[in-house]
Amino acid sequence: MRLGVIGLSEGNGHPFSFSAIVNGYDADGFRAAGWPVILEYLQRRAPEEFGFPGVQVTHAWTQDAATTERLRRACRIEHGVDDPGEMLGQVDALVIGRDDWETHAGLAMPFLERGTPVFCDKPLSLDPAELERFSPYLRQGLLMSTSGLRYARELDAMRADPRRLGELRLVSATVLNNMERYGIHMLDAVAGLGLGQVTRVTRLDAPHEAFVLRLGAALPFLLNCLGNVAKTFRVSLFGDQGHAHADLHDNFSAFRRTLAQFIEMVRTGRPPIPPDETMRTMRLIAGARALAPGDTLELSP
């Protein structure tokens, strides 16, 4: 399976992370590329944790030719191209590593229209018209978009048995940055716990972006997006028989599991995430960011 990796957005090293997890990496190349944090966590992993049988990142493109060359060297990618369209017909699947959703449709649609499966970094799109264009491809198993924290290793115990805490009284999640860019990390992480879908969101009066959501019929889900603070990705569950907390910092495991799900989708054509869930989360984020403190958005089934 030949994968193409395209795009780069400021502060987001996913093209480097994802490509290295598939291909392995060149340490000197990573140092020259200027992603020391990614290199540090790659160097903590055993060699057997890299790669997937029969899968290789073979093509790369970013908006800057010098960056593309650094990506190629750091992640042992054979081909760099001057335009994403050069990958059409040359790759079996595509990974879009930009997290600025406004660019996603322009990058993804030429490949989707040819039947090439695409993984698109989160959030997929907050534009209703673009979501409608994406919807058929989500349903056909040609498009996947999620935060890797949906599969975070630190959530395995909660995911396996969230009810071990008794009747849940509160879900709480706290993240840096804002709802539009990073809220999805917590929304997808909590969605992966299987506690029900969000049916309502109310914006709270707070100095940062804060929301109380309702999961299913009645379970409150408190989401705080703290803005420009230190690295923060925390999920907490509170039940009548105990509580559990997880800080989500193992990016390697989360990204590797995400890639494994995407590769399986490419092979089988089965969406790993219910398409309606992806669409619903995008509508939730788009609606929530427009709320004034005290306003509530009801989400249709």
Where exactly are the structural domains of the chain? 2-148+253-273, 151-249+282-298
The average pLDDT across 168-195 equals 96
Q: How many CB atoms lie within 10 A of CB 49?
A: 12
The reply to whether 2-148+253-273 and 151-249+282-298 are identical in fold is no
SS3 57: strand
The average pLDDT across 172-182 equals 96
Whether this prediction's pTM lies above 0.75 is answered by yes
Question: Residue 210 is encoded by which pair of tokens?
Answer: 């804060």
The average pLDDT across 195-221 equals 95
Question: Per-residue pLDDT for 11 more than 80?
Answer: no
Positive/negative CA dihedral, 198, 199, 201, 202: negative
Span 151-249+282-298 CATH architecture: 2-Layer Sandwich (3.30)
**What pLDDT is stored for residue 190 in this prediction?**
97
Question: Per-residue pLDDT for 275 more than 90?
Answer: yes
Model pLDDT for residues 64-120, shown as the tens digit of each residue: 999 999 999 999 999 999 999 999 999 999 999 998 999 999 999 999 999 999 999
Question: Per-residue pLDDT for 301 more than 70?
Answer: no
Question: Residue 180 is encoded by which pair of tokens?
Answer: 């539009």
Residue 261 and residue 273: Cα distance in Å, rounded? 9
Helix, strand, coil percentages, rounded to 5, for the chain: 45, 25, 35
- Within 13 A of 75's CA, how many CA atoms are on the CB side? 35
**For the ranges 25-29, 42-46, 163-167, 236-240, which has the lowest average pLDDT?**
163-167
SS3 271: coil
Choose the CATH number for 2-148+253-273 among 3.40.50.12780, 2.160.20.10, 3.40.50.720, 3.40.50.150: 3.40.50.720
